[in-house]
Amino acid sequence: MTGALDGIVVADFSRVLAGPYATMLMADLGAEVVKVERPGAGDDTRSWGPPYEKDAPDGVEPMATYFTSVNRNKTSLAVDLQTDDGRRAARTLVERSDVVIENFRAGTMERLGLGYDTLVADQPDLIYCAITGFGRDGGASMPGYDLLIQAMSGLMSVTGPEDAPSKVGVAVIDVLTGVHAVAGILAALRHRDRTGIGQRVDLDLLSVALSSMVNQTAGYLAADVVPVAMGNRHPSVVPYQVFSTADRPLAVAVGNDKLFARMADAIGNPGLATDDRFSTNTARITNRDALVADIAAALRPHGADHWFEILAAAGVPAGPINDVAEAFDLARRLGVDPAAQIPGTPTPTVRNPIGMSVTPPTYRLAPPTLPD
């Protein structure tokens, strides 16, 4: 089957997460991705375990699942970029590539003779995507680890309990940066289709974080509101949070007055919807504490699964807080297969979430072993 990006060659100089996630998405869609790695060590995430694969073939060293999560459908090229031979090998790869992607600290590729200006002089149709942590100016020397970005972007200040700033449980800014990188690269390829001219695509994790905080950062710019952590509550919608039940927590997301009326009826207290304190979202925000106390009291006698069934039947968005195993079970029950199998490999991979009717993602190659 021909993928949507069949014929596109990507020279992937990135490592860890943001860049590799972007190139894996492109590889799933048919691009040929050649991952450039340090001889003898490879991508840092090769050693980021446990956990390791539990079903590795006999005689094959199990890979760290962190590495496998973002490196399927690629081949690997071991190149020492500190040597002349290594740089020549890298240039040979670039010469047959449509896209270069890298996430070294700003200036590193230029020092290696592989910067955008050098490469584009010979290949004006090249798409060159550079990912940094804090940009190419004052933050050029700052390391772009996701935890630092979550801390310094303000994301941690609005996450977790009020007195305990928390990171998100996955490197979410790296992942979002990878998705933004794919969007930028595809837009640049579309421009090249029309004009024959390539371009540089720049992303920094700090900008992605600030953009991805959407309503929180917009509230600051447009209304001078500095948001704060509210636990599992929402600053602008009530009730939109987690409630305790007789056994485990239940998430409830009531986004408008109609849904609130349905919820009030479903939990056996229809008068809440006609109470002047709660009849509109603005009123519910003003009287948040009183409303939350009433809802909590109504939910307390029964378990989360009971309320999930009741509220779902009423069309109210609600659900228990699942662990990852329960989430996979839910997806399978709903007919949303969360896993895929790479031919010839025993270990499943998490399915690419993009559905395409003609050129769907494919799973062709297992994450590469590091060449000798």
Sequential pLDDT tens for the chain (372 residues): 689 999 999 999 999 999 999 999 999 999 999 999 999 999 999 999 999 998 776 667 889 999 999 999 999 999 999 999 999 999 999 999 999 999 999 999 999 999 999 999 999 999 999 999 999 999 898 889 999 999 999 999 999 998 899 999 999 999 999 999 999 999 999 999 999 999 999 999 999 999 999 999 999 999 999 999 999 999 999 999 999 999 999 999 999 999 999 999 999 999 999 999 999 999 999 999 999 999 999 999 999 999 999 999 999 999 999 999 999 999 999 999 999 999 988 889 999 999 999 999 999 999 999 998
Long-range residue pairs from 351-356, CB within 8 A, at least 24 positions apart, any chain: 352/25, 352/28, 354/25, 354/28, 354/29, 356/4, 356/29
Which CA distances in Å does 113 have to 42, 88, 120, 158, 270?
Answer: 21, 10, 12, 42, 70
Per-residue pLDDT at 150? 97
Query: Residues with catalytic annotation?
Result: 174
Q: Which of 1, 51, 5, 58 minimizes the C-alpha distance to 28?
A: 5
Per-residue pLDDT at 163? 85
Tokens for 256, please give them.
């408008």
Which CA distances in Å does 89 have to 51, 86, 136, 191?
Answer: 33, 5, 26, 28
Per-residue pLDDT at 1? 63
Q: Taking the CB of residue 293, how many other CB atoms lie within 10 A of it?
A: 10
Separation of CA 3 from chain center:
22
Amino acid letter, 16? V
Per-residue pLDDT at 290? 97
CA dihedral over 284, 289, 292, 297, signed as positive or negative: negative
Per-residue pLDDT at 372? 80
